Amino acid sequence: MQVNNGPGRHPVFMAPSNGSAGYTPGRVAPVRSPPPAKAPPPPPLKPPSLAPARPAAVHLSEAGSWREHAQNQQRKNAYICTGISLGALLLTIILVLSLTSGDVLDENCPDHDPTLRTWNPGQDPKKAVVVGSGERFRLVASTTLQSLTIQSGGVVVFADKKDGSKNITLRTRHVLIENGGALHIGGPKCRYHSRATITLVGRSDDTSIPEVPGFGRKFVGVRAGGTLELHGFERPSWTFLSRTVPASGLATGGYAFQRNFSRGINLRVVDQDSGAVLLAERFDTHESFNDSRRLGQLLQMLPSGRIVALAVGDSAVKSLLDETKRTIQELLGSTYVYDLKYRQAWALVAVLGRGNGSCTEDTREHENHDTGGRALARRDFVTVDGVRFSVTAYSEWRNGFPISGFQVDAVDQVILNLQDDISSWRASERIVMASTDYSMHQAEEFTLLPCPHCTKRQVRIQGKPQFTHMGEIVDGVDMRAEVALLSRNILIQGEMERSCYANNWCQYFSHDTFGGHIKILGNFTSVHLSQVELKHMGQQAVRGSYPIHFHLCGDVDQRGGYNQPTYLDSLSIHHSFSRCVTIHATNGLLVRDTVGYDALGHCFFLEDGIEQRNTFFHNLGLVTKPGTILPTDRNDTMCTEIRDRVYKGYVPSPATECKAVSTFWIANPNNNLINNAAAGSQDAGIWYIFHNASTGDTHGLVPETKAELTPLGIFYNNRVHSNFKAGLFIDKGVKTTNATSTDPREYLCLDNNARFRPHEDSDSSKPRVAALIDTLISFKNNDLGAWIRGGDIIIQNSGFADNGVGLSFASDGSYPKDIGSSQEVSESLFVGESKNRGFNGGQNKYWGAGGVDNKMRTLPRNKTFPTRGFQIYDGPVRLLRSTFKSYTSTSERFTSAVGFNLKNVWQLTPRNNLSSLYFLPSVTLRAFFGRPGQWFEDNDLDGDKNSIFHDLDGSVSGYPDTYAVRADNYLVRHPDCVNMPQWNGCVCSGRYAQVYIKTQGVPNLSLSIIRDEYPDKPLVLRGINSQGALSQQYQPVLMMSKSYTLHWNGQAPKEIVLSLVNFDLGDWTLLGLCYPSDTAFQVISDFYHRQTNVFEGMEDYGSVSSLAELEKRAMDRKYFFDKSTGLLWLYTRARHGRSGHSYCSIRGCERVKITATTSTKQTCNCTAATYPKYSRTPSAAVPMPKPVQSCSRCGASKLAFSSNPSISYLQTQIKPLSVAEEQKNDTQAFITVNNAQYNLTKNGFLMVSADACTGKVTKHSFFAKLDSKMEQYFKAGIPVRSIVLLASRGQPDGFAGVAQYLVPLGAAKVADLKGKGSLAFFGFHVSPSAQPWASLQVGQGEEAVGLQERYIPLSLQEYACPPPTEQPARKDLDLLRKALS
């Protein structure tokens, strides 16, 4: 029950009625009384009057009679007690005997409770059952009911058997648990082993059964006093791929061919080590003896071990020579080739030179232009990397047409290598594998197949993947695909119609969207759900009906009186019709290990903006699609068509009011996100949104949430990828008022009314509290890896790759609202275009050349979109100790490590500073200021022109303590600036700040600013407000200690306020403002205190008679009006210092206010009269520093950014070199381990061994050839638990013989290295099974191996490393404990 504790306070919820008694895990919950009624309690009852005491008269005979009666009663009680004991014993014996031989009576198992009675209500869909007081049932068989209500101490427990054979299905319209009722399926210490299914039935338009108030239809509901305990069999909920799975399952892509009338023998030669088709030819052995000879000659020339597939098309025997038949028989092992007949179908797959045992062939007789089916030959093989594949040949006549074909594929043979032990995942269960490309629609579902040869970290899938799914760290960023188990042995599902019907938004959805739902109301006794599958849940057309919904529950942890805090653990919520988990006015809920897949609308959803202290730990959400419920759920079409809550005919703007559907919708910052993955949403992965007041059902309960001021909860080790709009988004609020004529937008649409600026205790008068984003992995997001607006935000230990824009900060707001906060990024990695080239399909829109190798790849936004790693919007921002790699422009687009917001009208601060950055050689454009053209348009808005950043140490430009500015901005440059033509910028020394110019009284004004040293280079600013506004704002960046003149394209403003922004003590500029010569002035200075909106310290400026006198009295508050030129000259000088990142001084914001009175209405541009009179010679106020060499300690300290931060990784690179590459003037061959390079300068082999536990290189050895020394090294010279790296150069003797020694190190078989040009091998010594990162790459002919890179995990359990002296810290678990404390 929710009660209001007064205005302005958070809602207070009543504690559970049994106080701290709580719920004992695994046991049937005690009956909890319903919450007290709202009515006042009745008056106390008056105690009954007692009769006056009087002594009893006792006689002997009476005493004897009493003794005899007492003895008889004692004997009677003894008989009763004995009977009860025997009955209880008998009941216990019956219960024990009813258990299987493997079951033992366990008090932790709810269905072992001896007080339960066997219950089998049968099949009656019209029967509404109420289980009430004294009724404690063990459901032992499937049943169908109209409804099931459990109340007043009633208990229903699903029966179970340890062997999993007790499968029970309950079909019903709804289950309602209330007022002391309890439903149990398993317990946390006694997991349910059988399969339990609750199927919720009913249509949305079925009015024959009335809705249940507060719940509606088709639900499992928990009211006050209710207990819901569901605990399925424990298994890992989701994990990561540990090896990349290519599209089709084969790195070569597979092969398929079919043709009619391909007469003769069709041949395919397949590489046995890779599955690649090496040769495809047709030999017309029906008409051509020459073709027959060519076929025999070709087979004789092929190396032994090649896979050969043959298939007849039409007919093949007329000219098939005996010598060719003999060759086919001897080399391929055929037994049918000598007996082939006219138009007989024949197919063969064999390994050349391996005899009949390696041959599979089949024939079909031809009759009446039909063979009655295919002659089909198929054999299974394995690549050198352990990938199983099949080669199939077929031949047939069908309906008068001869058909032949071939397939090379991995159908039903693809093995997924996974990070964790998933041996509990079972054949026939369903999994989903996330996209690792830009489109979330590359996520794929599979059914698991039996796999007796799989390890405990492998599963086999049915079919084959359509897309590539990465299973490794790529270029230092963890891009491994998430793999989730969808199946659970407890299933709650909605029974669905075949198609959409009635009022279920059928204009947007072709399928039924009226699923089941689970709703929990406040003051429940106990709710814990673990290992439960929720399928076809949620109701798109009914608000509040979600797969699982905690509705107005208040504190559900120990603060709310729950000794066992409420949790959702390892749920699988998939194919949902409205969200995944909704937390509504509920605090302290733990949601962990839960999967939300294919949901409509926000998936993990905080509803009203007052939900706090909830913890999301290790959850996965993927394929989050638009829905209809809220404006923020909707896509373009829904946004403009659903208008029942806007004012009259208003048409919403999708870009600003809708299009925000997110996997994690966090409506209050005081919640915790640890180890989560947002792996694909139509809009955002994680969105922090800010409600300035409570909304929805709690509207008005909290008039001011102060969410914008609330410190951020824990944010650690979360990953966001494959989202269309942004990975992480921290910005904006929602509209908290209904639509009106003045604001016709819909309630709860997006609103640009919030700026995140956390303070201690959510109190703006108290110190700021920095929001920490620690360990964010963001890749393959179309627009933005992360967009974060606000103050005092720190990002650290994060990796960004393949995003349209990696990271963009936006400040709290514009001056004077923004008091000058800061944003910082450190110890992070930015990758422009990684080696994850993606796959052209799955709704990826753009495909083109890119990356360091300029190969074809998927692209964000557009082929021409200017990719940027770190985007500067306004500031101040600090970027330090970070690394950039793979930012290489192409002929179609600019790709820069550092860039600026496109078409920016906003101000930029010179306090944006960069330091200790490291740029790999793959970065060809470190910074870019834009250029007129597509995306940049004219590149002439105010923010574009004022783009600037401070290169503190020269790690960007090579010149320390300099500023990078736009090349054509002569307000900030000087003659000694170093031009950077590629950047469209230059690098200058000096001191820089901003003058905030606010005008009043004249609309449509543009400001032209001229530095006196460059009178022919004006900078024209439009202002940031709309052109028709009477008030305008300009904020030019100026070089300090210089003079400038200001001119207008219309009348001079009646009032101008000049505010000093980012001026340090003593900084000054001399400004001349253009006015008509008859103007009278009032000039005053003051200090503005933004917190209190108070002005103080006002002083009038006095006039002087000349500019020379003004310059002499520069420290005084004076002005000079030169009527001959129309210039009002005055100094803007900082008289007080600043503190921290504040825009203003410690005294307040120093301002100069000019009020002008004139009767003239002329255009005030005084340029012609000003120059050359006031022209000055250009000079540098601060000398240019000397250039610095490369920074040895710059860049991020980590090389790999993983979603397993507790695991260290070894960066390894192998670059072999073939003879063909040397002939093209390539001279480099080497092995690199964590940036330590071991060069291979001579022909031969280089082997490097590194300890798999510590990463330390233990050996590096060169061998000129495979000789006894190298053979002995393979056999006994490699240390145990070693990562083994091998590279070749040239064609050393014994090259092919190396293959046999690679098998014990992880190769799946002896590779055929004859005729190969080079090799790179990653292996491990020694392990019972190959490591998933083990790999052999071979170059042949013109195909070079190139640079191969692997990030290899260290100290894994399977390496059998010595136990550490102390267990490595698990920061995520420490933070989880902190969150729950």
Kind of pairing between the strands at 913-919 and 877-885: parallel
In this structure, what token pair is assigned to residue 222?
A: 């928990």
Q: How far apart are CA 1245 and CA 1262, in angstroms?
A: 6
Tokens 């500067």 belong to which residue?
872
Q: What is the pLDDT of residues 1296-1312, one digit of tens each?
A: 999 999 999 999 999 99
Q: What's residue 77's pLDDT?
A: 57
Low-confidence ranges of the chain (pLDDT < 70): 1-103, 813-820
Residue 133's CB is within 10 A of a number of other CB atoms, namely: 13
In this structure, what token pair is assigned to residue 281?
A: 């030819």
Q: What is the dihedral sign for C-alpha 939, 940, 942, 948? A: positive
Q: What's residue 591's pLDDT?
A: 98
Beta bridge partners of 913: 878, 950
Q: What's residue 1365's pLDDT?
A: 83
Q: How far apart are CA 1276 and CA 439, in angstroms?
A: 49
With 0-12 / 13-18 / 19 or more C-beta atoms within 10 angstroms meaning exposed / middle / buried, residue 922 is middle
Q: What's residue 1179's pLDDT?
A: 97
HEC states along 151-219?
CCCCEEEECCCCCCCCCEEEEECEEEECCCCEEEECECCECCCCCEEEEECCCCCCCCCCCECCCECCE
Q: How far apart are CA 159 and CA 142, in angstroms?
A: 11
Q: What's residue 819's pLDDT?
A: 65
Do 756 and 708 meet the contact criterion of CB atoms below 8 Å apart? Answer: yes
Q: What's residue 973's pLDDT?
A: 96
With vertex at residue 632, the alpha carbon angle to CA 627 and CA 635, rounded to the nearest 5 degrees, is 55
Q: What's residue 703's pLDDT?
A: 86
Q: What's residue 1234's pLDDT?
A: 96
**Cβ neighbours of residue 106 under 8 Å, at least 6 residues apart?**
112, 190
Burial code (b: 16+ CB inside 10 Å, e: under 16) for 537-555 equals bbbbbbebbbbbbbbbbbb
Q: How far apart are CA 426 and CA 1369, in angstroms?
A: 33
In this structure, what token pair is assigned to residue 1126?
A: 């129309």
Q: What is the pLDDT of residues 951-988, one digit of tens each?
A: 999 999 999 999 999 999 999 999 999 999 999 999 99
Omega cis (within 30) before 1172: yes
**Cβ neighbours of residue 979 under 8 Å, at least 6 residues apart?**
967, 986
Tokens 């890896």 belong to which residue?
785
Q: What is the dihedral sign for C-alpha 646, 648, 653, 654? A: positive
With 0-12 / 13-18 / 19 or more C-beta atoms within 10 angstroms meaning exposed / middle / buried, residue 1204 is middle
Do 395 and 345 meet the contact criterion of CB atoms below 8 Å apart? Answer: yes
HEC states along 427-474?
CCCEEEECCCCCCHHHCEEEEEECCCCCCCCEEEECCCCCCCECCCEE
Q: What's residue 46's pLDDT?
A: 34
With 0-12 / 13-18 / 19 or more C-beta atoms within 10 angstroms meaning exposed / middle / buried, residue 100 is exposed
Q: What's residue 150's pLDDT?
A: 98
User: Does the pTM exceed 0.85?
Assistant: yes
Q: What's residue 36's pLDDT?
A: 38
Q: How far apart are CA 197 and CA 185, in angstroms?
A: 10
Q: What's residue 25's pLDDT?
A: 42
Q: What's residue 1091's pLDDT?
A: 73
Do 222 and 519 meet the contact criterion of CB atoms below 8 Å apart? Answer: yes
CA neighbor of 1048 nearest in space, from 906, 941, 1166, 1161: 1166
Q: How far apart are CA 470 and CA 837, in angstroms?
A: 10
Q: What's residue 8's pLDDT?
A: 35
